[in-house]
């Protein structure tokens, strides 16, 4: 699978788009959001986060409560700014936006982009292999999230040194997810693992996990039936590090943001160790066409070509830039 978050614009003629102003207006073709509110999405930050406003507001409020570093807050607030429309000179009719991005683990837009890149980079590693999902959890107790995350990391490292693991698991990637029980207020961090290798009995892996943790025996192993399952799995655990419930819990969200500081959310191991799953050069050879506000202006003038480009970009996932969205390295915050 290549990284193809873009869609052909069927009514755009081949070749580099000219975007010459048209003599006639075609209001009926105006994108509704522009027609109804000419100022809408003028700010490309708003456009980038149009599907994630609720999460974004919650995180910004949390940053304020925990007094997050100013540089982090500014990067978060500026994610999506300075957007340019880009086109692919080798494939006429394909468009994307490039902008500043924050790469913050609590940014759903960057998370969605990260998931897309990881999915694309995983596909060749999984081709022809039997893939298994493994979930490792710790026993429920009243321990702090910070301590639980320390333990989970240490125990997973210890497990990977045991013969039961090295004899059966060739390599893989582990995604860290944090949950908190509404009922008990207890933290439940998990590792969700995509792995390749041989069949391993659940009982054997459970016993090994109990041996290294001393108190935890819940291990889930599932064989993956098709690559769509992997795509869904990766999307689910890469887009954001916690489920929606945590974003409604101010104290919980604050604790999670602090406890995850500097921790890896994506860890490769075994024969995949060192694989750069977040490597992204999607827009490497793409060419800037015009600033985002200029495209909107042309849309408002009824420029059908600009409208077609707008629709393509709106329909498709955002590809922000061609720098790596690397989350395998622990960030400085």
Distance in Å, CB of 65 to Zn ion, minimum: 20
On whether the CB atoms of residues 138 and 217 are closer than 8 A, the answer is no
Cβ of residue 164: shortest distance to Zn ion, in angstroms?
40
138-177 mask for Zn ion (x: CB under 5 A)? ----------------------------------------
Q: In what order do the strands lie in the sheet with 266-270?
A: 219-223, 131-137, 187-197, 169-180, 266-270
Per CB under 5 A, 196 contacts Zn ion? no
Write out the E strands in the chain: 84-87, 95-98, 131-137, 169-180, 187-197, 219-223, 266-270, 287-291
CB of 110 to Zn ion, least distance (A): 3
Which of positions 200-219 make contact with Zn ion (CB under 5 A)? none
Angle at 321 between CA 79 and CA 310, to 5 degrees: 80
| Per-residue binder mask for Zn ion (CB under 5 A), 90-119, x = binder | -----------xx----x--x---------
Nearer to Zn ion, 102 or 299 (CB): 102
Q: Does 79 bind Zn ion (CB under 5 A)?
A: yes
By CB under 5 A, how many residues form the interface with Zn ion? 5
Task: Please report how close the Cβ of residue 109 comes to Zn ion at its closest, in angstroms.
Answer: 5
Beta bridge partner(s), residue 221: 134
- Closer by beta carbon to Zn ion, 107 or else 134: 107
Indicate the burial class of 189 (C-beta count within 10 angstroms; 0-12, 13-18, 19 or more): buried
Give residues with Cβ within 8 angstroms of 292, minimum separation 6. 44, 47, 83, 84, 85, 97, 99
Kindly tell me which of 101 and 121 has the beta carbon lying closer to Zn ion: 101
User: Least CB distance from residue 83 to Zn ion, whole Å?
Assistant: 13
Kindly state the smallest distance separating residue 282's Cβ from Zn ion, in Å: 16
Query: Residue 191 or 318: which CB sits closer to Zn ion?
Result: 318
Cα separation, 156 vs 191, in Å, equals 9
121 vs 277: CA distance, rounded Å: 5
Residues at the contact surface with Zn ion, assessed by CB under 5 A: 79, 101-102, 107, 110
């Amino acid at each position: 699978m290549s990284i193809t978050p873009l869609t052909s614009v069927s009514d755009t003629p081949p070749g580099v788009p000219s975007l010459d102003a048209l003599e006639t207006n075609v209001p009926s073709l105006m994108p509704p959001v522009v027609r109804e509110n000419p100022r809408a999405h003028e700010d490309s930050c708003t456009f980038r986060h149009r599907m994630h406003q609720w999460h974004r507001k919650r995180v910004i409020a949390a940053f304020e409560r925990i007094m997050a570093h100013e540089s982090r807050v500014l990067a978060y607030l500026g994610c999506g700014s300075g957007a340019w429309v880009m086109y692919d000179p080798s494939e006429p009719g394909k468009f994307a936006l490039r902008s500043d991005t924050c790469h913050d683990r609590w940014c759903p837009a960057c998370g969605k982009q990260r998931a897309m890149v990881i999915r694309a980079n995983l596909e060749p590693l999984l081709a022809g292999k039997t893939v298994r999902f493994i979930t490792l959890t710790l026993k429920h107790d009243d321990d702090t999230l910070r301590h639980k995350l320390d333990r989970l990391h240490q125990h997973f490292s210890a497990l990977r040194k045991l013969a039961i693991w090295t004899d059966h698991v060739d390599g893989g990637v582990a995604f860290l997810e944090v949950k908190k029980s509404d009922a008990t207020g207890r933290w439940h961090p998990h590792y969700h693992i995509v792995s390749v290798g041989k069949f391993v009995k659940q009982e054997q892996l459970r016993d090994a996990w109990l041996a290294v943790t001393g108190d935890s025996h819940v291990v889930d192993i599932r064989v993956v039936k098709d690559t769509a399952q992997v795509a869904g799995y990766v999307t689910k655990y890469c887009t954001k590090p916690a489920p929606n419930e945590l974003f409604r819990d101010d104290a919980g969200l604050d604790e999670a943001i602090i406890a995850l500081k500097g921790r890896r959310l994506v860890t490769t191991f075994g024969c995949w160790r060192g694989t750069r799953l977040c490597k992204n050069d999607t827009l490497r050879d793409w060419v800037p066409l015009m600033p985002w506000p200029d495209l909107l202006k042309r849309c408002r003038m009824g420029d059908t070509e600009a409208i077609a480009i707008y629709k393509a970009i709106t329909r498709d996932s955002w590809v922000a830039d061609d720098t790596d969205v690397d989350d395998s390295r622990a960030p400085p915050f």
